[in-house]
């Protein structure tokens, strides 16, 4: 019996070991990390769609994702100069592309790396090289006050205007108006934009300015429109720029009104609110503020009119009550007193 038990025990042990090995293989297969193919399946197959995606990755510091997209575009279309230009900046040293002579500049509100690259290197698409030169990991997060090294050279590589406009339109459609604007500024300065390109430039600038306004960055909203100033007369959509300029000026007037309110000056506050609504009748916050401050101003001028009336300064009293009724035509005390004051004024003139 003992030999049989020993044999049975060995058979059972062999079975258990084999089962454990099978289970381990299954567990290893189940626990193995899945290959990340989501990004590849989401990548558009057309170059115009991939190009703005690559630029967006570069702006966000996602270099590997951008490089894959750019390499794919260049592999399919070696003549795509913009994709090749961006890809080259990832492989070559910034000094090779930007030169070795630099000056230092301070980033102003509204500046982007693309605009600084266009301004100092003659090519806004050199923002990648400029970011690498200054060890900036995420180009789109450029902070005002940052000190940057920028090249002295004015050389500008040859660009592809059609590719720029196509990429900018895609970015604008995706809600990335700031990137679309940066993309087109370089071509605009080089006079490489046709009517369609200038139209996209205007739409991008208006969208960026509107975004700044919605976030309370009035100075940046104004600075964005100022970038279009060199082409103001040649823009077919100049009316859109003028309309956005009025909105910006309305917000500036609203800002002045808020400053007057903080200083305890309701009269000046009301004047700026009226100006804001003239510039932008849809500025509801100005309308609400005007409605709130008007009773205070009305009461203020009514008291000044009463003081002038009691001091027998009839003409001054008439002027104050006329202003009261200008602010609030339904203010009955002013209407009654004004009628009396005008009668006295008429009699005095007859003497």
pLDDT of residue 52: 85
pLDDT of residue 48: 57
Written as six digits, the tokens of 141 are 């997060």
pLDDT of residue 270: 92
Residue ranges of domains in the chain, CATH in brackets: 46-236 (no CATH), 251-350 (1.25.40)
Q: Which residue has the tokens 């040293």?
A: 93
Query: Can you tell me the distance from the alpha carbon of 203 to that of 170, in angstroms, rounded to the nearest whole number?
Result: 13
CB 289 within 8 A of CB 272: no
From first to last of its 351 residues, the chain has per-residue pLDDT tens of: 444 444 444 444 344 334 334 333 333 334 333 333 323 323 344 555 788 888 888 989 898 998 999 999 888 888 888 888 898 899 988 888 888 777 778 888 878 888 888 878 878 888 999 999 999 999 888 888 888 888 864 444 444 456 677 877 887 887 878 777 877 776 777 677 888 888 888 888 899 899 888 888 888 888 888 888 877 767 777 888 889 999 999 999 999 999 999 999 999 999 999 999 999 999 999 999 999 999 999 998 999 999 999 998 989 989 999 989 988 899 999 899 989 988 888 888 887
Query: Can you tell me the distance from the alpha carbon of 120 to that of 111, in angstroms, rounded to the nearest whole number?
Result: 13
pLDDT of residue 216: 86
- 207 Cβ contact list (under 8 Å, min separation 6): 172, 177, 181
Question: CA angle, 296 as apex, 291 and 297 as ends, to 5°?
Answer: 90
pLDDT of residue 177: 82
Query: pLDDT tens digits, residue range 203-240?
Result: 888 998 998 888 888 888 888 888 888 777 677 778 88
Strand partners, 278: none
Written as six digits, the tokens of 318 are 């008439």
With helix as H, strand as E and coil as C, how does the chain read? CHHHHHHHHHHHHHHHHHHHHHHHHHHHHHHCCCCCCHHHHHCCCCHHHHHHHHHHHHHCCCHHHHHHHHHHHHHHCCCCHHHHHHHHHHHCCHHHHHCCCEEEEECCCCCCHHHHHHHHHCCHHHHHHHHHHCCCCCHHHCCCCCEEEEECCCCCCCCCHHHHHHHHHHHHHCCCHHHHHHHHHHHHHCCCCCHHHHHHHHHHHHHHHHHHHHCCCHHHHHHHHHCCHHHCCCCCCHHHHHHHHHHHHHHHHHHHHHHHHHCCCHHHHHHHHHHHHHHCCCCHHHHHHHHHHHHHHHHHHHHHHHHHHHCCCHHHHHHHHHHHHHHCCCCHHHHHHHHHHHHHHHHHHHC
Query: Can you tell me the distance from the alpha carbon of 194 to that of 169, in angstroms, rounded to the nearest whole number?
Result: 14
How many other CB atoms sit within 10 Å of the CB of residue 312?
Answer: 10
Query: Can you tell me the distance from the alpha carbon of 134 to that of 130, in angstroms, rounded to the nearest whole number?
Result: 6
Query: pLDDT tens digits, residue range 122-169?
Result: 788 889 999 999 999 998 888 888 888 888 644 444 444 566 778 778
pLDDT of residue 224: 86
Q: What are phi and psi of 179, to 5 degrees?
A: -75, -35
pLDDT of residue 12: 40
pLDDT of residue 186: 65
Q: Record the pTM.
A: 0.57
pLDDT of residue 272: 96
CB 80 within 8 A of CB 163: yes
pLDDT of residue 143: 87
């Amino acid at each position: 019996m003992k030999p049989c038990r020993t044999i049975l025990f060995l058979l059972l042990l062999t079975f258990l070991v084999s089962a454990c090995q099978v289970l381990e293989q299954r567990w290893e297969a189940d626990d193995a990390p899945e290959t990340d193919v989501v990004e590849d399946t989401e990548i558009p197959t057309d170059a115009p769609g991939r190009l703005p995606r690559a630029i967006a990755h570069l702006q966000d510091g996602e270099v590997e994702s951008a490089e894959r997209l750019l390499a794919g575009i260049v592999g399919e279309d070696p003549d795509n100069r913009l994709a090749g230009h961006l890809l080259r900046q990832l492989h070559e040293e910034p000094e090779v592309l930007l030169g070795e002579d630099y000056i230092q500049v301070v980033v102003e509100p509204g500046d982007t790396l693309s605009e600084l690259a266009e301004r100092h290197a003659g090519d806004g698409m050199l923002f990648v090289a400029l970011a690498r030169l200054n060890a900036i990991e995420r180009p789109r997060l450029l902070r005002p006050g940052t000190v940057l090294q920028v090249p002295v050279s004015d050389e500008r590589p040859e660009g592809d205007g059609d590719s720029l406009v196509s990429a900018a339109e895609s970015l604008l459609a995706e809600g990335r108006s700031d990137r679309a604007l940066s993309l087109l500024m370089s071509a605009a300065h080089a006079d490489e934009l046709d009517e369609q390109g200038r139209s996209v430039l205007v739409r991008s600038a208006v969208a960026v300015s509107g975004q700044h306004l919605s976030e309370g960055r009035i100075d940046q909203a104004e600075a964005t429109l100022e970038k279009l100033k060199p082409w103001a007369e040649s823009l077919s959509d100049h009316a859109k720029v003028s309309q956005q300029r009025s909105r910006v000026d309305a917000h500036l007037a609203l800002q002045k009104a808020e400053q007057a309110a903080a200083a305890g000056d309701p009269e000046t506050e009301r004047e700026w609110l009226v100006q804001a609504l003239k510039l932008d009748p849809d500025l509801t916050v100005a309308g609400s503020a005007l409605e709130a401050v008007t009773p205070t101003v009305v009461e203020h001028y009514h008291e000044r009119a009463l003081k002038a009336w009691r001091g027998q300064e009839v003409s001054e009293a008439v002027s104050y009550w006329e202003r009261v009724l200008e602010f609030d035509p339904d203010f009955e005390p002013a209407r009654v007193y004004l009628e009396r004051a005008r009668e006295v004024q008429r009699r005095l003139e007859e003497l």
